[in-house]
Amino acid sequence: MRNRRNLGIGQLGRRLALAFVAVALAAIGVLALISAATTNQEINKLVTRQERNLAGAVAVATGAAHDPVGWARDGLMPVFDLVAMDHASVQVRDMRGKVVRSSTGFAGMPPAHQLIEPVRAGGHRVGTVTVRFGGNGLGGAAGAFEAKRWRARLIAAGIAALLALVVSLAVARAITGPLELLLEAVRARGSGMRSVRIRRVRGSGVVRELLESFNQSTDSLDQQERLRRNLVADVAHELRTPVAVLQASHEAMLDGVTDPTRQNLESLREEVLRLARIVEDLQRLAAAESAALQLTLAPHDLAAIAAEAADRLRGAYGAAEVGFVQRLTEVHIACDADRMREVISNLLTNALKFTHRRGRVRLETGAREDGLATLRITDTGIGILAHELPHVTERFFRGLHAPEMAGGSGIGLTIVAELVHAHGGELDIASEPGRGTQVTLTLPAVDAAETRRLALLRSAAQSL
């Protein structure tokens, strides 16, 4: 199902953009709440202080307007003018609580917001003043200021949300665009479209690497699929000839066309052996691929294993008139002796197959300063073409000149590579056409103390 796009991005991009906007709005909201909580508190303190100061000033002015007889009618006008400047009202009472005079609008102002201060004249208390503050005074100005601040916050939140949306769309497109391409490619690949590739690899960092890895893994899977098809074709081709010969020969004998003579039966036996070799090669390949689960590791001298493998092939080298040189230095590794012997035998057999008469093969073992053991086989054979070298360990791969020099199924080096990797080693092949090939095995070495310890453990296990 194709990922539906809006605003140039898919579902993942939209979610990411909304997350950006939500984070921006949340940040502004938290900032606004913190600012409101701290600023309002300070403003309220300032308003309260100013109102108390005003009430105190009104009380002082009212006391100054008092004479021994009382308050003159016009004597309180400066007091009323003072409170009127701050949009407040005042009421003056004498000591008996009787209202002396109130400023205009006093009764209409809310009694909840008022301050009462004593009035003193000549060092004696002569009455009280009640100051009421309306909505147009200092408190009202503070409220209006706070309302403006909230409007400013809302406008800022809207602008921030818009900017966050624009930025998030660009970022989401840059981040999720490649991922959505990858998702579409994976879906197409899953539906059977094996030729799908991500043509425009874009993005940065891990995203770009992910897209490149998809293309690489797709190429690898396609290559494995081609190898599988080639494997089936090669096996069918290898089996077709001996099966056809066996079928024709048996039918000829059954029909009386040929007699079951010793010569004819030996010919049939050769075809049967040929089939058996093909099946054995396939079994060896399957065993090598699962070797990591079947290896029995123990300390062994690599030189001793190499010498044993070489001794088994010395007759074949002599018959082919190919010189053989050994330079073996003791070095211990943790390995499966049978599997390692199989590796060395395969390499020596390969070197013999592709080396002309009177050529030379050299076998060497030794230790490196970095704690690794090496086994090197060098021949003076036909070599490997440069474009064939990366493929020599692939299943059933046979070079251009391989049929001229030797037969075989083409899985020898595949088995070697699988077994070497199962031992935690590396296989390196260097070659130059016409001058020979050098195969180097690098394996982790174990020191003498570790060798003795592993040997003791193995002996103890065998005695149980």
Nearest C-alpha neighbor of 288 from the set 426, 396, 372, 413? 413
Residue 327: per-residue pLDDT: 95
Helix crossing, 206-254 with 138-190: angle to 10°?
A: 20
Q: Which residues pair with 132 in a beta bridge?
A: 89, 114
Letter for the amino acid at 420? V
Residue 233: per-residue pLDDT: 74
- Domain(s) labelled CATH 3.30.450.20 in the chain stretch across 1-194
- Domain(s) labelled CATH 1.10.287.130 in the chain stretch across 223-289
Coil/strand/helix, residue 364: strand
Question: What are the tens digits of pLDDT across the range 367-421?
Answer: 988 889 999 999 999 988 888 888 888 766 666 555 444 555 567 788 888 889 8
| Residue linked to tokens 């059977």 | 192
1-194 under CATH 3.40.50.970, yes or no: no
In this prediction the pTM is 0.48
Instruction: Assess contact for 373 and 365: CB atoms under 8 A.
Output: yes
> Which residues have a Cβ under 8 Å from the Cβ of 413 and sit 6 or more positions away?
346, 350, 392, 393, 429
- Domain(s) labelled CATH 3.30.565.10 in the chain stretch across 293-463
Homologous superfamily (CATH) of 293-463 is Histidine kinase-like ATPase, C-terminal domain (3.30.565.10)
Nearest C-alpha neighbor of 233 from the set 69, 26, 103, 410? 410
Residue 405: per-residue pLDDT: 46
Cα 358 to its chain centre, rounded Å, is 55
Residue 300: per-residue pLDDT: 92
* Neighbour count for residue 55 (Cβ, 10 Å): 21
Residue 460: per-residue pLDDT: 58
223-289 under CATH 1.10.3720.10, yes or no: no
Give the residues of the chain that fall short of pLDDT 70.
Answer: 1-17, 35-43, 73, 135-146, 169-183, 189, 194, 197-208, 214, 227, 231, 234, 238, 284-293, 395-410, 448-464
User: Where does 329-384 show beta strands of DSSP type E?
Assistant: 332-335, 360-367, 372-379
Distance CA 128, CA 98 (A): 10
Residue 340: per-residue pLDDT: 93
